[in-house]
Amino acid sequence: MMKELRESFEGKGEMKGFIFTQLQKTDKCYLYEVKTEGHIGYEVFQHKINTHFNCISYPSSKAFGVWAWYFRDKNKAITKLKEITGHICKGCGSQISYDVEYCGECICEDDMDI
Ligand SMILES: [Zn+2]
């Protein structure tokens, strides 16, 4: 059995005093709210399996900018989550599959490169 990330936990070490709460989870990534006294932020990171411990990895500070991202703005965090989870249409921002750039519904035919 794979050890899942807990929905809520308190940080240790460099993150001592921070409360982590899972807001969203997809098959590719997670969104956590990170709270400490007088401060609130959001962390988005990819679903990574630590095969050594057979668990889902929570990013350390080294992972940020590589496979984890920090936002002060919740909406930006959600956009990032969508970006990783699926692909976002360049025209309208709706969720689309990986192999296309546009959803095909939000642009006129003249703009389509066919
Ligand atoms: Zn679109």
Residue-range definition of the domain harbouring residue 39:
8-86
Query: How far, in Å, from the CA of 113 to the mean position of ligand 1?
Result: 14
User: Is 97 inside a domain boundary?
Assistant: no
Q: 68 in a domain, yes or no?
A: yes
Q: What is the mean pLDDT of residues 77-81?
A: 90
* Ligand 1 midpoint to CA 75 (Å): 19
pTM for this predicted structure: 0.73
Half-sphere exposure of 55 (CA within 13 A, CB side): 8
Structural domain contains residue 42: yes
CA-CA distance, 2 to 30, in Å (whole number)? 16
Output 92 or 68, whichever has higher pLDDT: 68
Whether residue 66 lies inside any domain: the answer is yes
Residue 109 inside a domain? The answer is: no
At 61, the amino acid letter reads S
CA of 21 to the centre of ligand 1 (A): 32
In a domain, 80, yes or no: yes
Instruction: Spell out the residues 6+ positions from residue 5 whose beta carbon is closer than 8 angstroms to its own.
Output: 22, 30, 55, 56, 58
Question: Does 98 fall in a domain?
Answer: no
Residues with CB under 5 A from ligand 1 (ion): 89, 91-92, 103, 106
Please count the structural domains in the chain. Answer: 1
Query: Is the residue at 1 inside a domain?
Result: no
pLDDT at 10 over 90: yes
Whole-number mean pLDDT of the chain?
Answer: 86
